[in-house]
Structure 1
C-alpha cells in the first residue's frame, strides 16, 4: 500500500501537483506542506483530482523529486541564457552593421524562447519584449520578441538577457565605427583624401588577378618651389586639386593613392594604362587657380610597370625607375627646347641690333683668272664665341619673320664694303646676294632692293635664288623674276646641285641669266638644247652664263 502511494506521489509530482502548484515552485510548496504535516500522524492526504497520499514520508519524497526537477529546469534555462550571452560575446565583432543586427537576432532567438524575433525601427508593443540598439549617428533600432502561445510572458531575467544582447550589439556597432575610423586614418592621406602608401599596399595585396594590372607612378615637377614660395597651405591645396584631377581621369575601379610628398600612384588595368597616363597628364597640367594666385602644375608620369608575379616592392621599384627615366628624357628635351628658345632670342636680338656680320666669297673669271666680284654671306658668332651655322641662322630668321630684315642688313653692309673697295679696284663690281624665291613676292622687300640698286649704279647686283626654295616657285614668282631681269637686275640660281636640282630647272626657269654650281655636277644629257658655258668660278662654286 505504501509503495503504491509513493508511486502515485511521484506521478502527482510530475503531473497533478505540477498543475496545482506549478512545476518550478511545486517542489517548495509540497515540501512546506509536508513539513506542516510531519509532526502529526498522517493516515491520508487528499491532493484533489482523485489523488491522495497516505504517508508523510511519501509526501516528502514527492516534494524532493519536484524540487530536483524544478531546479534542473531552472538551471537549464539559466544555462541557455548564459550560453546565448557567451556565444554572442564570442562572436564579436559580428562583421558589418547589417551583419551585426542579423547576429543579434540570431543570438536573441538562441537565448530566449520566443514565438518570433525581429529587428524594427520602432519599439515593440506592450505585450512584446524589446530592447533598443543604439548605432553611431543617432540611429536606434529595436530587437523585439513575441511570447510563445504556451507561455504566460517573459521573466525579468529574460528581459535582462535581451537588454544585455542589445548592449553587446550597440558596443559592436560603435567598435566597428571606431575600428573603421582608425583604419581609414591609417590608410588615408589626410591632405587629399586618397589612399596612402599603406592603403595602396593593402589594395595591391587584395588583387586576385595581378597579371591584369599595372602601376603608374608620378610626381609633380618643382613642387618644393611652390612650398618655399607660397607656403605649405598653398602647397597642400595644390596637392588636393591634383589628386582630384587624377581621380577624375581614371575609372571608378582604379586605385589612386598619394604615396608621399608630391608622389602619386595609380593601380589600374594594364591594357589602358598608357592611355590613362596621357589623360592624367593633360588633366593635371592645367593652371591651378588658388584665389588670385595661378600656379602652373607639371607632372612627370612613368611608363606603366606591370604587376605580374612581382612583389609590391619590386613593382614599385620598377615604376619608380620608369618615372625617373621619363623625367630625365623630358628634362633633356626641355633643355634642348630651352636652349633653342634661348638661341632664337639671341639671333632675333642680333638681327635687331645689326650685329650679324658678313663674309665675302670671291667670284673668279675662270678664263682670265681674276676676281670679278663677291658673293656676300651672313655669319653670326654667339656670345660664347661659338660660330652659328649659316643654315641655322637663316632658318631662325625665316621662322621669326625676320629674313627680309637680315637680307637687307647684309646687302647694306656688302654695298658699303664694295663701294669702298672700288676706289682701289673699280673693275670688281659684281655683288651676289642670296635670297629665297618667295621673298620676291613681298613688294616692300623687292622695292628696297630696287632702291639700293639705284643708289649704287656702279655695282652690278645679282640676286641668287637659293635652289632649295625653288620648290615653292609659282607663276607669280616667275613673273617677278622676268620683271626684275628686265630692269637690269641679274637673277641667278644658287647652290645648283642641291635638293631640288634638275637639269630641267636649270635650263627652263625664265629670266635666269646665271647659275651657281655649289659642287661637282655631272653633265647629263637633256632634251633641252639651250646652250650654256662656264664663265667663272670660286673654289667649288661656278657661274654658268647663257651661251647666247
Structure 2
C-alpha cells in the first residue's frame, strides 16, 4: 500500500502535453502504477490507495487544495474506468497489450472529458476549443506508451518476479512498482533539464532580438517572447501585481509608467515553475534596459540635432533632411528651400536686451512651425536665420504661394517686453523640380537670393518695410534656358498610358504625356515643364510637338492593334481658339482620318469659358476632334461644366475613388456614370490600381477606366512592344 502511494508521488512530475498548444491538456502517467494489483481483496481498493498518492502529489504541484482535490477526484474516476475495463477484459481472456490499450484509452477519455467540460467557453490562442484543442497523434502516442509500460510491468510481475523470489514469504511487487516510478521520475527530470536548456536558449535569443525593437514593437515583442518561453496562455502589462497561478515582475519601458509584466495559465495547465519566474524576470530586465538605453540615445540625438533655444532642428539635422528630401522624392514632386533672415535683429538686442531677442526667436520658431505644413521641415541654422524645406510641390508658383503664406503668418504683430512690434523678414526661395546632383546648390541659391533682398531693402529699394520673398533668379533662369532649348531642339519625349474598356478587357485609346530628361539635371517634372513653357511664351510650340508625335505614335499603334484608334492629349482651354491652335488641331484631325484626336481640358479651366470658346469647341468636334473633360471631381466641380460645354468624354478624377469602402463615393461614381450615359458621354474613371477596384467599377456600371493596374505611362517603343506581344488586351500582369 505504501509502495503504491510512494510510486504515485514519485512519478507525478512526469506529465505530457496532448494538445495543439503548449500546456493544455496536460496528462500524467501515474495510471501505470495500477497495472499490477497490490491488494488481493479488490482492485478498486487499489484505486483508493492510488488516489491518496495522487492527492499528495497534486498538493505539492498545484499549491492549491481545491485544485488538488478536483484533479484527484477526476483522476480517481478515470482510474476506476481503467480498472473496470482491465478487470473485465482479463476475465474474458483478452491478451495483455490490447487489454491495457483499451483500459488506458478509457482512462484518458474520462479524464480529458472532465477537463474539456471545465474548459467549456474558453478558447485557445489558436482559436480552437473543445475537442479541437486536442492533438490526436500526441494522445495516441501517450496511450501507446502507457499501455506498453503497463504490459511490461505486468509481465515482469507475473513471470520474472516469481523466478527471483527465493523466500516464499518475500514480495517483490512493491519493488517493481517503485522501480518503475523511479524510472519515470528520472525521465521527468531529464525532460525538465532539456526544458530548462531550451528555455535558457530562448532567453538568450530574446536578449539579442529585443533590443532591436523600440516603442510598441518592444512591448509586443516582450509579450510574445514571454508567452512562448514560459508557455503561458496570456501575458499582459497591468498596474496590479500577479495573483494566484500567475507570475510577474515590475517593469518600466522607457519613459512610460511603472507596470507589472504578468503571465498566466488557464485551468488544467501546470503551475509555473521557479525557472519560469526567473525567465520572466530576465526578459523584463533585458527589455527594460533596452528601452532605457534607447531613450537615452534618443535624448542624445535630439540634443545633438536640436537648437537648445527654440527646440527646432539645428543645422546638422537640416543638412540630413535636405539630402533626404532631394534623394527620396517621387518623379513628379518638386521641393523648395525658403531661407529666412530677421532684419534688424542686432538692433533689437541692443535696444531691449538679449532676453528680448531670445523671446523673438522663440516666437518666430513657433510661428514657422505653425504655418508650415505637416510635411515641411523647419530649422534654425544660425543666430537669426531659419530655413524651411517645402516638399510635395508641383510648380514654382505653388512654392511661392506657400512661402508668401508662411512669411505673412510669421510677420504678424506681437508683444515683446511690453512693446508691440512686427517682425520684418527677408526671405530667399530656391525651387527644384528635379533631383539635384548636389542639394547644397539649393542652399547657396536661396541664401544668395535672401542676401540680395536684404541688401536691396537697406539701399532703399523697398520702402514699405514689409517682409517679402524673393525668388532665385539664377535657378529660375537656368531652368528656363533648359526648357527653351528642349522645345526649340524638339527634344521632348512622350509616354503613353492605355485607356481600357473593362467590360471586354480591351485597350481602345492611349493618353500621351510629355516627358523630358535633361542630360545634366535629370528629369524635369511635367507640371514644371508646362509652367516654364507658359512663362517663356512657348506653350503652343510645345503642344504642337506633343500632338504631332502623339498622332504619329497612334498610327503605329493602330497598325499593331486595329481596334485602338484614339489618342488623347492635354491642352489649355485657351489653346483651342482660332487665334492659337484651333486651325492646327482641325488640320491634324483631318490628316489622320483613321484616328480620333481627343483633347483633354482640365475641369478647373472651364470656369472661365466664353461663348467664343464654346463655338471653337463645336468647330473642333465638326472636324472630328473629340473633347474630354479631365480630372472631374478633383476640385470644386460644377455641374455646369458638364452641360454648358461641348464634350465627348468625361474623365472622373481618382480623388473620387480613393476610399471605395465609403458608400457615398460609390454612389457618386454610379451617378456620374448614369449621367454620362444619359448624355451620350464616354465616362472614364481614372486611378484604377487593383483588380478589386476593377470589380467594384463593373459592379457600379462603369465601362471604361485608366490607371496603373492596366499599365503605367511607358515610352513609344515599350508601348509598341506591348501591343506586338499582347495586342489590345487590357490586363497583361504588368
Instruction: Please identify which structure carries the higher strand content.
Output: 1
TM-score by length of 1: 0.48
State the structure with bigger RCO (CA 8 A, min sep 6), 1 or 2.
2
